[in-house]
């Protein structure tokens, strides 16, 4: 499913991993996309991410571009499986 989204969102142009994550979440969450804060905060651990609920929505922090994208993909999957409870769940990961 996410590969299909990548082809549709990217079209013929290459896009940065964090931008792909942002576009994917925007297409899934609609108006709620403004409550998702996706950013990079280097921590020395390649491609890792943190997902944390905060007062204004959810923060997805990647250690690099790929980590931010992986965090966005994880949150998108959690939304499809868990629905609204995904907005209240913390997660960390690295491939």
Per-residue pLDDT tens over the stretch 65-76: 999 999 999 999
Say how many C-beta atoms besides its own lie within 10 A of residue 65's C-beta.
16
Contacts for 80-85: CB closer than 8 Å, 24+ residues apart: 80/28
**Residue 9 pLDDT > 60:** no
Residue among 9, 83, 21, 8 nearest 47 (CA):
21
pLDDT of residue 12: 56
């Amino acid at each position: 499913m996410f590969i299909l989204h990548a082809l549709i969102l990217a079209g013929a142009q290459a896009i940065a991993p964090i931008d792909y994550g942002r576009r994917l979440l925007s297409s899934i969450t609609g108006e709620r996309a403004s409550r998702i804060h996706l950013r990079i905060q280097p921590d020395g651990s390649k491609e890792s991410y943190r997902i944390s609920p905060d007062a204004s929505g959810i923060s997805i922090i990647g250690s690099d571009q790929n980590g931010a994208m992986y965090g966005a993909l994880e949150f998108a999957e959690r939304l499809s499986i868990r629905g609204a409870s995904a907005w209240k769940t913390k997660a960390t990961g690295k491939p």
